A = this chain, B = another copy of it.
């Protein structure tokens, strides 16, 4: 299942959906450090990571802050820009040599116009990522830095091995130094 977020859906039509979406998917390979999207531009693509790791990030007071990671089967985009069609504050870069599928906003829009019965799946996709985001808020509000780190270790241990700690630390909302201290005293 290309769209990991829809993997639990039991629906005979899903095969058609996949085949139609496949028509608007374009695959590319990128090398480490390549940029998929740069801040200031409107983000016109939804990216599916087939192989590799990507992160979205932005600058706050000159500091580089990671907003989201995507590994194999994950999706990434500058979601506010993609949805609202406005300039993005986010950048998206690859952290490993990667294979990435991209779907253009225009193609997706056209597909949804032509086959509005696919709206349902976009809705389901949004529901899933909404839940993910809501959990992240709870996490930030009500767990300590250490708890957030432990959760990450437990939930996505492989990410820790593939991504530098400075990105991890900003992702969980703390400084690199604090994360380092958390790790040693654990």
Contacts and interface: CB of A to CB of B under 8 A. Distances in A.
B140 A140 contact: yes
A133 B127 CA distance: 12
Interface of A is mostly: helix
B134 A79 contact: yes
A83 interface: yes
Contacts of A140: 137, 140-141, 173
Given A79-B134, A80-B131, 7 more contacts: A80-B135, A83-B130, A112-B120, A126-B127, A130-B133, A133-B133, A140-B140
Interface of A: 60, 65, 79-80, 83-84, 112, 116-117, 119-120, 122-123, 126-127, 129-131, 133-137, 140-142, 173
A77 B9 CA distance: 23
Contact of A173 (B84, B127, B135, B141): B141
Contact of A129 (B122, B130, B136, B142): B130
22 contacts: A65-B141, A65-B142, A79-B134, A80-B134, A83-B127, A83-B131, A112-B120, A116-B117, A116-B119, A116-B120, A119-B119, A119-B123, A122-B123, A123-B123, A126-B130, A129-B130, A133-B133, A136-B137, A137-B137, A140-B140, A140-B173, A141-B173
